[in-house]
Amino acid sequence: MSTAMRAATVGRLVSSASAALLLVALVVGSAAAPAAAHDRLVTSTPADGATTDVPTAVQLQFDAAVAEDFSTVVVTGPDGQMRSAGEAAVSGTDVRQAVSAGPAGTWTADYRVVSSDGHPITGRIAFTVTTADQAARPAPAPQPDPTAAPGPAEDAGAGEGAPRTAGENALLFLVVAVVLVPFALLASFAVRRVRQAEQR
């Protein structure tokens, strides 16, 4: 093989390799472009890892406007109870989630938003609450008052064994008399008739 033919062969191989590398670069670049376009969380209030009092809301800011639909933020207190109050409010790049009162400890906020290109973005921030909100403390259970008058149920139970009054005794005697006196008169009349019949 002559030197010219060798040079031509090497040139074709170099051209083919260059074309293959260019094709790979184009494929990788096109695949990475949509991923780079996804929105991401820029900052939050409270910040991730911050120490603060009980917040009234958790605010998230992204690098681009997020879709208003399907955006959720679940705030959980150290007691495992959900502290989110209502639905998340979306305004451009900002997402705001109202928070109810809760105890001191480590809180978390799990978010899921939809980016401008329709790609879901999920994540979590955590912060520490140092002072429990007074509204979160359970109210003490009411204690019974030993000096209070008994209720209706207690009155009814206490009345079952109470002695009868004079009026109640007189009424009972009258009822017995009305029932028994006619029977006594009929019995006496029947006895007299029998005796009269025997004497005849």
For 58-79, what is each residue's pLDDT tens digit?
999 999 999 888 899 999 999 9
End-to-end CA distance of the chain: 175
pLDDT at 30 over 90: no
For 108-163, what is each residue's pLDDT tens digit?
999 999 988 889 999 999 999 998 765 544 434 455 555 555 544 444 444 444 45
In this structure, of 6-20, 22-36, 165-179, 182-196, the range with the lowest mean pLDDT score is: 22-36
Averaged pLDDT score across all residues of the chain = 74
Select the more confidently predicted residue: 67 or 33. 67
With a pLDDT cut of 90, the percent of the chain lying above it is 40
Rounded CA-CA distance 65/114 in Å is 9
For 168-185, what is each residue's pLDDT tens digit?
666 766 765 666 667 667
The residue among 111, 106, 107, 141 whose CA lies nearest residue 123 is 111
Residue 61's pLDDT is what? Answer: 96
Q: What is the CA radius of gyration of the chain?
A: 47
HEC states along 131-160?
CCCHHHCCCCCCCCCCCCCCCHHHHHHHHC
Rounded CA-CA distance 123/41 in Å is 9
